[in-house]
Amino acid sequence: MTKPLIGTEVAEKIEEHLPGAVVEAGENSILLNSESVLDICRFLNQTAGLDFDYLTNLTAVDYLDYFEVVYHLVSMKHNHSLVLKARCFNRENPTIPSVTSIWGGADFQEREVYDLLGIRFDGHYNMKRIFLWEGFQGHPLRRDFL
Amino acid sequence: MELEAQPFVINFGPSHPSTHGVFRLRTILDGEVIVDVEPIFGYLHRGIEKLAEGRTYVQNIPFTDRLDYLASMTANHGYVLAVEKLAGIEVPERAEYLRVIMSELMRISSHLMAVGFLTNELGAMMTPLLYMYREREKILDLFEMVCGQRLTYNYMRFGGVSHDIPREFLPAVKKFVREMPGFIDEYDQLLKENEIVLARTKGVGILPADVAINYSVSGPMLRASGVKWDIRKDDPYSVYDRFDFDIPTGSAGDIYDRYRQRIEEMRQSVRILEQAIEQIPPGEVCTKVPSLLRPPKGEVFARIEAPKGELGYYLVSDGSIAPYRFRVRPPALINLGVLRYMSRGWKIGDLIAIFGSVDICVAEVDR
């Protein structure tokens, strides 16, 4: 069985390495400061004992007050998993650092989030729409898109 | 005088016989050699994730059929698992066995199509493919017997399956399971040591294990690169922990390994089926679940080993009758991320073979 790591325990390790990066740590997930996503992901990817080498799922949810980007990480080495979250409060021009430099698998998924929810990923080499055509107005998966 | 060669752009598709649907590959070529490939999606985008937010949980089951239509049963399976996890629904044992039987039959059928179309792409137009259609027909007949449909089954429900199997179903599966290894041997005879297959696939489109993991590749493609990772074993769901089966892996990670991988996985699926039809208990096939299901507030991520890779569903519930967010993690879309890595430097004919070995279904890629 893939063992879900306890969010609070991992959050302590992150806090030791990068103070101020964690906003809130729960049982099942860790809410991150959106500016330090890339540093934390690199830390989780390269720290022995954590070794999150596989990004299973990257998506985002529109909660109207903010966007929440969700990362489902898995370590194939240790067979454990972790859920990360980060919030973007700027509705006009939400941005968050891209994690493509760590996991290549983020490439299409980040483009999909940009296309359907309009969150820009800073540092993505090819940040353009993936399903809809260039020139399409709006981002359909936003809750206020009609 | 020296002539300068300039790279030029060629579009494969959107309607091209080798693209398995409406899908475009924008290739940059230097002569016949591929400099760069960019897959361009969206021609089949139906906005399923958006539509699902406006429908009840039960109404979304038929949508999952229409994701990967070559493996609708497994798509059903992943979704009902996610909702059951979210709402805490118990599933009777008989239903779990039925789900496993359907999923494994579906896996065989999907892998048959993958191997068949790959040979098509290698230039063996239609002959091997039609051999494989022959066995797929038998599987579709079995599904028709169970739920009256041959492509979009809509068979699974929250808490079980829509109805019990007819009396003649299990004997028919038994017959199929008995015959199938012989048919797989027959494909091997045709293809395994075929000179053309070897020349076109050995050492072509190599995907090393570390690159595969980094690019979130999953399913037969990942295992063909030598990574022993199968969710049925590593994160077992349903009743998969009760069966004795192996996870075959490849070594080189080339097209040939990916083709062998699917053949070996079919043999393992037959093994699971053998055990499942022996062990299946009598009893109920569905618990009572309200048709206007209101799962408690919260979120869930459930993943299964679909024929094409890791199929995940991320659902967010706000306590109402419709999901607040319905996200599908499509294995085929993410597997395509390595296409560029695998095909750079190869000739244009190899690109078609490499692309075929990824095994995609555009309906699932675009959603």
Closest to B107 in 3D by CA, of B191, B193, B232: B232
Closest to B43 in 3D by CA, of B302, B325, B367, B271: B367
Is residue A20 predicted with pLDDT exceeding 90? no
Chain B closest-CA separation from residue A12 CA (Å): 24
Scored b (16 or more CB within 10 A) or e, A43-65 reads bbbeeeebebbbbbbbbbbbeee
Sheet arrangement for strand B24-30: B8-12, B24-30, B33-40
Average pLDDT, chain A: 87
CB A63 within 8 A of CB A79: no
What's residue B262's pLDDT? 92
User: What number of H helices and E strands is found in chain A?
Assistant: 3, 8
Closest to A68 in 3D by CA, of A111, A31, A37: A31
ipTM associated with this complex: 0.90
Single-letter amino acid, residue B227: V
CB contact under 8 A, B215 and A104: yes
Angstrom distance (rounded) from CA A48 to CA A43: 9
Is residue B20 predicted with pLDDT exceeding 80? no
Task: Give the residue-averaged pLDDT of B332-339.
Answer: 90
Task: Give the residue-averaged pLDDT of A99-118.
Answer: 91
Q: How many CB atoms lie within 10 A of CB B228?
A: 14
Q: What residue spans define the domains of chain A?
A: 3-94
Angstrom distance (rounded) from CA A143 to CA B322: 13
Chain B closest-CA separation from residue A50 CA (Å): 15
Q: Which residues of B touch A56 (CB under 8 A)?
A: 216, 303, 310, 312, 329
CB B160 within 8 A of CB B92: yes
3-state class of B165 per DSSP? coil
CB B92 within 8 A of CB B239: no
What's residue B123's pLDDT? 80
CB contact under 8 A, B333 and A76: no
Domains in chain B (CATH in brackets) are 48-341+351-366 (1.10.645.10)
What's residue B311's pLDDT? 92
The residues facing A31 across adjacent strands are A24, A85
Q: Which residues of B touch A (CB under 8 A)?
A: 41-42, 45, 47, 49-50, 211, 213-217, 227, 229, 234-236, 301, 303, 310, 312, 314, 316, 324-325, 327, 329, 333-334, 336-338, 366-367
What's residue B217's pLDDT? 92
Summarised one tens digit per residue, pLDDT across range B291-313 is: 888 889 989 999 999 999 999 99
Q: Which residues of A touch B214 (CB under 8 A)?
A: 53, 103-105
User: Would you call the peptide bond into B92 cis, given omega within 30 degrees of 0 as the criterion?
Assistant: no
Closest to B77 in 3D by CA, of B239, B204, B247: B239
Q: How many CA atoms lie within 13 A of B356 on its CB side?
A: 27
**Residue B140 region, left (φ>0) first, then alpha (ψ -120 to 50), else beta?**
alpha
Q: How far is CA B358 from CA A6, A65, B238, B336, in A?
A: 35, 40, 27, 7
Is residue B16 predicted with pLDDT exceeding 80? no
Closest to B212 in 3D by CA, of A53, A93, A16: A53
The residues facing A68 across adjacent strands are A61, A87
Closest to A143 in 3D by CA, of A120, A116, A121: A116
What's residue A72's pLDDT? 92
What's residue A29's pLDDT? 87
Selected for mutation to probe chain B from A58, A83, A130 (highest B CB count within 10 Å) is: A130
Summarised one tens digit per residue, pLDDT across range B32-83 is: 889 889 888 888 898 899 999 889 999 999 999 888 888 899 999 999 999 9
What's residue B196's pLDDT? 86
Q: Which residues of B touch A27 (CB under 8 A)?
A: none
Angstrom distance (rounded) from CA A105 to CA B100: 29
CATH homologous superfamily of A3-94 equals: NADH:ubiquinone oxidoreductase Nqo5 subunit (3.30.460.80)
Task: Give the residue-averaged pLDDT of B324-351.
Answer: 90
CB contact under 8 A, B41 and A130: yes
Percentages helix, strand, coil for chain A (3-state, rounded to 5) are 25, 30, 45
Task: Give the residue-averaged pLDDT of A94-104.
Answer: 91
What's residue B19's pLDDT? 66
Select the residue of B42, B316, B366 nearest A61 (Cβ to Cβ): B316
Angstrom distance (rounded) from CA B124 to CA B111: 17
Is residue A7 predicted with pLDDT exceeding 80? no
What's residue B30's pLDDT? 86
What's residue B211's pLDDT? 92
Q: Which residues of B touch A61 (CB under 8 A)?
A: 316, 324-325
* Number of cross-chain residue pairs from A and B with Cβ atoms under 8 Å apart: 81
Closest to B70 in 3D by CA, of B125, B167, B136: B136
- For A104, the closest chain B residue by CA position comes to B215
Summarised one tens digit per residue, pLDDT across range A78-98 is: 889 999 999 988 888 899 999
Summarised one tens digit per residue, pLDDT across range B126-172 is: 888 888 898 899 999 999 999 888 888 889 989 889 888 998 999 99
**A39 touches B at CB < 8 Å:** no
Average pLDDT, chain B: 89
The residue count of chain B comes to: 367
**In chain B, pLDDT over 90 holds for what percent of residues?**
38
Is residue B21 predicted with pLDDT exceeding 80? no
What's residue A90's pLDDT? 86
Q: How confident is the model at residue A144 (pLDDT cuts 50, 70, 90)?
A: confident
